[in-house]
Amino acid sequence: MTVDADIIEGLRGAGLAGEGNIVLEPLTGGVSCDVWKVETPSGPIVVKRPLPQLRVAAEWLAPVERGTSEVRWLRRARGIDARVAPDVLAELPGHAFAMRFLPGCPVWKDELMAGRVDPAFAAEVGRRIVAVHAATADSERDRADFPNDEMFRALRVDPFLLYVAEHDAELASALRTLAAELSARKIALVHGDVSPKNILVSADGPVFLDAECAVYGDPAFDLAFCTTHLLLKAVWSGDARLTEAAAALAAAYRGGIDWEAADGLMLRAGALTAALLLARVEGKSPAPYLTAPDHKRIVREQARALIARASPLDELVANWKRTFA
């Protein structure tokens, strides 16, 4: 039985498809998974299956068990706020799963790249992700349900922080320290991939997808990861509204921090953002739209300076406006 046939059989076993012809229509996925749309008698659904080797030039292996972790995050997040994530319909063979298809919901990345920038939406992204962090902070149950340190290391710590450290002697010590501290902190449930490409724009606000990297760890990572994407797109487009969106995201997130001192978390988020900015030009997964040499130079120079002198995220975002003005 082929892998696709295995998934079709799993859909039938879950009662999501009849005995007739089932077509898996490929959708545009990220570097880490296969994604299909499937028409069923009760309407369209989406099936997702993680890949053992990510679609990047460098070798980047990751355990496929992350599909099961993603399902857990989606269900846990919906338990906090049903608007936050799509409904998971069934788990399938090979750590694949089926979830409800959400029609008429563009991907936030596509909206941003088309110049449709709404800082109010970015603020809502911040409010929703901080709500998940607040609800899971200091939770032994959530910590026990997401013991995914190895997975997070393979997908985030190694390719984004340690890979750069191996190739940059000047910053190696700072990046390795940051990686060790990130891995050691166990504070709240982290999505791990809060990127505009993984957020749908629905009538009810942002819907989060692709929680493959979910781990019980440092919530500052989610804030930093999303802010990094907005700042990179600001350099690419020269659109100051993207830095306004990043500022709105950070401010809304800060307003929801109730489990620790906000200043400490924002300082950690600033340090992580600086490192992630550098990783998106020097790491295993460079931002594909930063094709102009000047754009890469701007990001590289600013990121290196920011790693050398830690700044709170709010300050980092405010100063980022001057890098391409």
DSSP assignment string, 167-230? T-TTTHHHHHHHHHHHHH---EEE-S---GGGEEEETTEEEE---TT-EEE-THHHHHHHHHHH
Q: What are phi and psi of 218, to 5 degrees?
A: -95, 115
Q: Is 302 exposed, middle or buried (0-12, 13-18, 19+ CB in 10 A)?
A: buried
Vertex 154: Cα angle to 185 and 268 (nearest 5): 30
If we measure between CA atoms, which residue out of 323, 273, 316 comes closest to residue 299? 323
- Which two three-digit tokens encode residue 116? 């449709």
Q: In this structure, what DSSP letter does residue 284 have?
A: S
In this predicted structure, what is the pLDDT of residue 322?
Answer: 56
Residues 6+ apart with CB under 8 A from 145: 72, 76, 216
Residues of the chain where predicted confidence (pLDDT) is lower than 70: 1-4, 14, 18-21, 28-32, 51-67, 93-94, 321-325
- Element counts in the chain: helices (H) and strands (E): 13, 9
Q: Which CATH number fits domain 108-323: 3.90.1150.10, 3.40.50.620, 3.40.309.10, 3.90.1200.10?
A: 3.90.1200.10
Give the 3-state secondary structure of residue 257. Answer: coil
Distances in Å between the Cα of 207 and the Cα atoms of 1, 108, 174, 223 are 35, 10, 34, 16
pLDDT tens column, 62-119: 555 666 888 999 999 999 999 999 998 887 766 788 888 888 999 999 999 999 999 9
d(CA 75, CA 321): 38
pTM of the model as a whole: 0.88
Return the percentage of the chain with pLDDT > 70, whole number.
87
3-state secondary structure of 6: helix
**Token couple for 221:** 């990572």
Where does the chain show beta strands of DSSP type E?
25-26, 33-40, 43-50, 88-92, 96-100, 188-190, 199-202, 205-208, 215-217
Q: Domain coordinates of the chain in residue numbers? A: 3-100, 108-323
Helix (H/G/I), strand (E/B), else coil: 75: helix
* DSSP classification of residue 237: H
Fold of 3-100: Phosphorylase Kinase; domain 1 (3.30.200)
The reported pLDDT for the residue numbered 132 is: 98
pLDDT at position 28 is 66
